[in-house]
Amino acid sequence: MHVIFKKLTKSFEETLLESLIKHEKKEEFEKIRKNLINHASKEEFGDYQCNICLVLSKIYKRNPREIANTFVKKLKENKNISYLCENLEIAGPGFINIKLKNNILIEEIKSNIKCPRAGVPLSNEKSKSGFPKKIIVDFSSPNIAKEMHVGHLRSTIIGDSIAKIFELRGYIVLRLNHIGDWGTQFGMLITQLKDLYSNDLKEIDKIKISDLVEFYKVSKKRFDNEIEFQYRSREEVVKLQNGEKKSIKAWKLLCNQSRKEFDEIYRRLNIKIKERGESFYNPFLKSIVNDLNYKKLLIEDQGAKCVFLDGMINKEGNPLPLIIQKKDGGFNYATTDLAALKYRFNKEPYGDNANRIIYVTDHGQANHFAAVFQVAQKANWIPENCEVNHVPFGLVQGIDGKKLKTREGETIKLKDLLSESVKKAKEDLIKRLDHESRNENDEFILNTSRVIGIGAVKYADLSQNRITNYQFSFEKMLSLNGNTAPYLLYTLVRISGIKRKNNIKEDNMNLESISFSHDLEWKLIRKLLKFDEVIISIEKDLMPNRLCNYLFELCQTFNRFYDQVSILKVEIDTKISRLKLCELTGKTLKLSLDLLGIESLERM
């Protein structure tokens, strides 16, 4: 109902200007127009409400009810308003309650039934060239030779969902994996590799490192304890930067090995993402320094080249610098991010030509991004009408509120975490099948528990307000009751069940004769019509948990309707009308699950 809401707001604005706000009050008008009408705070008040008469009463020093009376009279004369609204009712001290006409709602429902996006309009935001805007989502981004941990899992799940929402709205979306594949740590890794294979890396492709994380630990230990190893590692960094063949080959081997492990996780989670690691921006780092220098932003501080940040101070109260180039000439994580940001906004073919960049990482990097964005702003690298957003999220904790660990106190591997969820989903499923005396084949059991197990992990993550920490509990996320993936999947299965029992041919399900009478039908209709607004709001605040909350409410509304309203044993027109509502609920649910990266099930 996004479009109706906009139309209505516009008509209210016009009427307000014509009838109440005199020219000398123009300034006040600008303030009031922001929240001219809102969604009704309670269902019984109607669809929307307008509270501005109370504000106007202060401006004009008149009784708010009196003002409301005059305003409503004028509003009723507006053609658009009388077309859309059933009645405008003055309530309490001077609120106006707005109820839409039933036929308007039915027309909307019909159009959403036909719409493949269940009523979500394509965005009409265009870039300067007239094409849809280009959005970069920088997410997942694990580091080579290091563990991909639960933080990366959160980033992967949240980033994927945000990307999907923009794709649905018709934006051009570039999903980027900013993998940590460059830096001094490769010096020690390559040196260790050379030591192990006695510097003979001829058949490098055949070298297998079973556990890269372990390999990293051993290398780090040697680096910290052996001066001679440290020395060779530093030399190795220089060789790598100079592009020496053997070093590059060893570096690639290490990257490939990690990539295999990351890809395994992406395969299980069904994530599409393009790898463009830190190393890609290596050739641009020097020009970042030069450009900042040219713009007189660089200051030398104890040998390092820095930009001092406004409004950021260290513990001692001194201004905080962002180090762009270290004393030894090396660059930082932040330098790479500056080069990446610049490249992404640059015009093609020297860049991505993006309009918006969204970074999904844990909250711990909030200061890093604030600093990077500030420097980019100062250097004028963020073009007009373009924006950057950091999407921070909290920690994943065990049910004890502490860091998530295995029973033995080890950090949990992502692979194992996903397998555990699927295993638990399978146990629940087998119990349920037993209880219902159902017989299903192995393929059904395998697939159903996989979809539920993976879906539950994703949903548990997405349904939280991402900013807070959340407690990871298999028991909660796999429950059939509550705001969980199994509950939503179960509702969808119910809808598929109704569809299977329906014997009316699709061709005979004419939309023209649909009509509604039951209170629970209208409740469901109103819920269904809010879908587009939820999606559009996420585009602004990047909070996918809004979609989860909406889906939970939609399913509850639907299940109440399903439990109390007869669908199949009623006369034909009513039956078709109700079946169509089921169909639209199913479509909205399936589409939304897809936006959350969760597969659907016909039966479970």
Nearer to ligand ARG (CB atom), residue 212 or residue 591: 212
Residue with tokens 């692979």: 415
Phi, psi for residue 543 in degrees, rounded to 5: -115, 85
Cβ 429 vs Cβ 449: under 8 Å: yes
Helix axes 185-196, 245-269, angle to 10 degrees: 100
Could you tell me the smallest distance in angstroms from the CB atom of residue 459 to ligand ARG? 24
Smallest separation (angstroms) from ligand ARG to the CB of 446 = 33
- Of the pair 95, 359, the CB lying nearest ligand ARG is at 359
DSSP H/E element including 17: none
Nearer to ligand ARG among residue 141 and residue 191 (C-beta): 141
What distance, in Å, lies between the first and last C-alpha atoms of the chain?
Answer: 33
Gyration radius of the chain over CA positions:
29
Tokens of 341: 């940001």
Strand partners, 136: 174, 357
Phi and psi dihedrals of 192, rounded to 5?
A: -60, -40
Burial class from Cβ neighbours inside 10 Å (0-12, 13-18, 19+) for residue 559 reads middle
Contact between 359 and 323 under an 8 Å Cβ cutoff? The reply is no
> Least distance (Å) from ligand ARG to the CB of residue 361?
5
Q: In angstroms, what is the minimal distance from the CB of 490 to ligand ARG?
A: 36
Nearer to ligand ARG, 136 or 514 (CB): 136
Q: Which is nearer to ligand ARG, 142 or 597 (CB)?
A: 142
User: Taking the complex as a whole, how short is the minimal distance between the CB of residue 285 and ligand ARG, in angstroms?
Assistant: 14
Apex 239 CA angle, 234 and 240, nearest 5: 95
Q: Give DSSP secondary structure letters for 31-86.
A: HHGGGSSEE-SSGGG-SEEE-HHHHHHHHHTS-HHHHHHHHHHHHHH-HHHHHHEE
Residue 178 or 356 having the CB closest to ligand ARG: 178
Using the minimum distance from each CB to ligand ARG, give the nearer residue, 181 or 428.
181
Shortest Cβ 412–ligand ARG spacing (Å): 17
> Looking at beta carbons only, is 150 or 604 nearer to ligand ARG?
150
**Strands 356-362 and 387-393, bridge-based pairing:** parallel
Host H or E run for residue 453: helix 442-462
Peptide bond into 349 cis (omega under 30): yes
Q: Which is nearer to ligand ARG, 361 or 484 (by Cβ)? A: 361
Q: At closest approach, how far in Å is the CB of 148 from ligand ARG?
A: 9
Nearest distance from C-beta of residue 136 to ligand ARG, angstroms: 10
Adjacent-strand bridge partners of 143: 180
- Residues 6 or more apart whose Cβ sits within 8 Å of residue 436: none
Query: Which H or E run includes 549?
Result: helix 545-564
Tokens of 372: 């990077």
Nearest-angstrom CA–CA distance, 268 and 273: 13
Q: Which helix (H) or strand (E) holds 341?
A: helix 333-345
Residue whose CB is less far from ligand ARG, 189 or 509: 189
Smallest distance, ligand ARG to C-beta of residue 32, A = 41
| CB 145 to ligand ARG: min, Å | 12
> Minimal distance in Å, beta carbon 594 to ligand ARG?
25
State which residue, 141 or 192, has the beta carbon closest to ligand ARG. Answer: 141
Question: What DSSP element (H or E) covers 139?
Answer: none
| Shortest Å, Cβ 156 to ligand ARG | 11
164 or 344: CB nearest ligand ARG: 344
Judged by the rule CB under 6 A, the positions of this chain that interact with ligand ARG are 138, 141-143, 178, 180, 337, 340, 359, 361
Q: State whether residue 146 is helix, strand or coil.
A: coil
Which pair of structure tokens corresponds to residue 185?
């740590």
Looking at beta carbons only, is 160 or 337 nearer to ligand ARG? Answer: 337
CA–CA distances in Å: residue 40 to residues 46, 100, 133, 540:
6, 12, 33, 21
Nearer to ligand ARG, 325 or 463 (CB): 325
- In order, the DSSP letters of 238-260 are HHHHTT-HHHHHHHHHHHHHHHH
Q: C-beta of 243: minimal distance to ligand ARG in Å?
A: 23
Residues 6+ apart with CB under 8 A from 232: 191
C-beta nearest to ligand ARG: residue? 141
Min separation Cβ 381 and ligand ARG, Å:
14
Q: How far is the CB of 340 from ligand ARG (least distance, A)?
A: 6
Q: Which two tokens stand for residue 423?
A: 């295993």
311 SS3 class: strand
CB-wise, 359 or 558, nearer to ligand ARG?
Answer: 359
**Both structure tokens of 176:** 């980027």
According to the 3-state scheme, what is the secondary structure of 162-200?
A: HHHHHHHCCCEEEEEECCECCCCHHHHHHHHHHHHCCCC
